[in-house]
Structure 1
Amino acid sequence: MAFDRFERQWLGGVLGVAVLLAGAGFTGYALTPTPAPPRSALPAPVASADVVAPTGAPTQPVAPAAPAPDGLPEITYDPAPDGFPADPDTLSTTPLTEGLRPTRRLAAYDAPGGRPLAFLMPTISGVDLTVPVARRDAGWTAVLLPSANRRLAWLPPGGFTTVALRDQLVIERVPHRITWYRAGRAIRSWKVSLGQRGQETPLGRTFILGRTPPPESVYGGVDIFALGAVPDDPDAVPAGLRGAHIGIHTWHHDGELGRDTTNGCIRLTPGGQRELLAELRDGTPVVVVDALPAPPPTA
């Protein structure tokens, strides 16, 4: 969410926490669960298995999981604990097509068979969590880490279901453009405003964490997407916005589109935001790059 003058209240509304204003003492709004697409459009969740190899293919041994102490922190809307590995493909625009939904508290590790660092919960601030699957190795699954930038969390088998993710958002910082892709095909592009100098919109892969109603009229009366990403430099944003997340939202006017004027969030037109709200589900992958090698056909 752009860390603007009113963004602090907005972020608090996102996920029932102060988005860009955690701990600022403001009352947040509850995140609104995203309505599910028609049943026919969604494949049934698939229960995770230990390791299922194609017929005739060798089965990869599953790396054992070290016991997780009960005292580990839970991953919440606050910044995630340190120690998780970097996402090696963070600037890749190859679509992530599978989402993972925890069905119980899951220990999150720094590598397959590595150290447990925190617990990933089925919900964050009351919203069901769906995180994009980024990699698999040794029977383990790596997902994009919530409340962090460009980090992965490794999960051992069991305790989650998976769903198909058909959409993706690609944001280009240099041309100030957001493009919506479905099944790898560009559907629409819009001009956007992005983070100002020192509060740049963070590069890399993230995802839609949830949505929230607009807390102020400056948001144009359109719901807001809260992302898994947070400001790269928490100390650079206004004090009241620290602890908040990056978001996608509208503004009360479109005069700043194509410029770097936000506190890190992505602003687009009300019509574009309404279209995305109607089409995208929680867990949809988002990637921020400087520019694509070639403009999308919808540019």
Structure 2
Amino acid sequence: MTSLPGAAPVARPDDLTSRPVGEATTPAADEAPGGPAAVPAPDWLPEIDYDPAPAGFPADPDTLDTTPLTEGVRPDRRLAVYDAPGGRPLAFLMPTIRGVELTVPVAQREAGWTAVLLPSANRRLAWLPPGGFRTVPLVDQIVVERVPYRLTWYRDGEAKRSWRLSLGQPGQETPLGRTFVLGRTPPPEAVYGGVDILALGSIPDDPDAVPAGLRGAHIGIHTWYHDGELGRSTTNGCIRLTSSGQRLLLEQLRPGTPVVVVDELPTPPPTA
């Protein structure tokens, strides 16, 4: 789509790809002494995929917290996910989404259970009982500030680079809150400048507000064929930066990297 200044959040979900990451992983503990038991999940529960996640999951109480999330979860098998420790099973989290190995950041731990950022939803958590997943370190973080139109890449808590952005136009604002890098996808049209897109776990806050051709797409980080709209609200909800910045993020970031969108940080980070 070239008639709109913002174009699609990401390409079609079947085009998602991921790269080997190579870092060490740690099996999760099989038992959590003293924690509530998990209610068996019926087989008919939905699987969380690229489409919007089922309703009923709890809100992320710290969704605007920019404290880095340093650990991720990788399911080894289909895992039931719950609305609370010892609560109701609502869906299954799969080892992959559209062929991409899934890594979801850990947001909380309580009574032996693990809360992760929910894919294909905004500002929601899913709770996992012990077992059936591995944990991996997460060293990077992306912080997006809507008011100054700025994206900052952090590694191990240290600001590495910052870039000026374009963000979502009125009615299609870039969603606030914590999410993560789901995977990467090839650019569907020439307007993306021939650079891959980072698809995020978040979706438009109002899916009906985006153009019909973009329904079902996720929010993404991508570049554009020109930089004339940086510092403006012109996209369909996506986070748009320069091609050089996008190429660097593609080189450095791995699936599961936490992303948090806020209006503005109290103290601006240094700009490289």
Structure-1-length-normalised TM-score: 0.87
1:131 corresponds to which residue? Answer: 104
2:256 to 273, 276, 283: 283
Per-residue deviation at 1:11? 2.4
CA contact (8 A) 2:11 2:186 kept: no
Q: Aligned pairs, how many?
A: 269
| 2:29 counterpart residue number | 49
1:192 aligned residue: 165
Tell me, yes or no, if structure 1 residue 262 matches structure 2 residue 242: no
Determine whether 1:32 maps to 2:17.
yes
Change (3 A) 1:293 1:51: farther
Tell me if the contact between 2:7 and 2:235 (Cα under 8 Å) persists in the aligned partners: no
- The alignment partner of 2:11 has SS state of helix
Give the % identical residues.
75
Contact 1:6 / 1:216 at 8 angstroms: preserved in 2?
no
Q: Unpaired runs of 5+ in structure 1?
A: 17-29, 53-59
Separation in 2 of the partners of 1:65 and 1:171?
36
In the alignment, which residue of structure 1 is the partner of 2:175?
A: 202
> For residues 133-162 of structure 1, what are the alpha-carbon distances to aligned partners after superposition, in whole Å with 9 as ceiling and x for unaligned?
000001100000000000000000000001
What's the secondary structure of 1:256's corresponding residue? coil
Residue of structure 2 equivalent to 1:21: none
| CA–CA separation in structure 1 for the residues paired with 2:20 and 2:184 | 10
- What is the SS of the residue equivalent to 1:7? coil
Q: Is the 8 A contact 1:191 1:268 kept in 2?
A: yes
Matched letter for residue 45 of structure 1:
T
Secondary structure of 1:199's aligned partner? coil
- Alignment correspondent of 1:70: 43
Equivalent residue number for residue 20 of structure 1: none
- The Cα RMSD (Å) is 1.4
Name 1:25's counterpart in structure 2: none
- SS in structure 2 of the partner of residue 93 of structure 1: coil
Find the aligned partners of 1:157 and 1:35 in 2 and give their Cα distance.
25
**Distance in 2 separating the partners of 1:71 and 1:268:** 42
What is the Cα deviation at residue 35 of structure 1?
A: 4.0
Report the Cα offset of residue 244 of structure 1. Answer: 1.1
Answer yes or no: is the 8 Å Cα contact 2:31–2:131 preserved in 1.
no
- Structure 1 residue 240: Cα displacement: 1.8
Q: Does 1:100 align with 2:73?
A: yes
Deviations 1:49-93 (A, max 9, x none): 0457xxxxxxx5121000100000000000000000000000000
After TM superposition, list the pairs within 5 Å mapping 1:57-206 onto structure 2: 61-206=34-179
AA in 2 matched with 1:197:
P
Residue 11 of structure 2 corresponds to: 11
Spell out structure 1 runs of 4+ moving beyond 6 A: none
* Preserved CA contact (<8 Å) 2:48 2:91: yes
User: Partners of 1:165 and 1:183 in 2: how far apart?
Assistant: 9
Shift of 1:6: 4.2
Deviation at 1:215, TM superposition (A): 1.4
- 3-state DSSP class of the match of 1:150? coil
Unaligned runs of 5+ in 2: none
Per-residue Cα deviation, 1:99-130 (whole angstroms, up to 9, x for no partner) = 10000000000000000000000000010000
* Deviation readout 1:21-68 (Å, 9 max, x if unpaired): xxxxxxxxx2121342xx5xx3x210000457xxxxxxx512100010
CA contact (8 A) 1:194 1:267 kept: yes
Supply the distance in 1 between the matched residues of 2:192 and 2:45 (Cα, whole angstroms). 37
For the Cα contact (< 8 Å) 1:103–1:159, is it kept in 2?
Answer: yes
User: For 2:252 and 2:166, how far apart are their aligned partners in 1?
Assistant: 21
- Once the two structures are TM-superposed, the CA of residue 216 in structure 1 deviates from its matched residue by 1.1
Partners in 1 of 2:114 and 2:127 — Cα distance?
Answer: 6
Whether the 8 Å CA contact 1:134–1:144 is kept in 2: the answer is yes
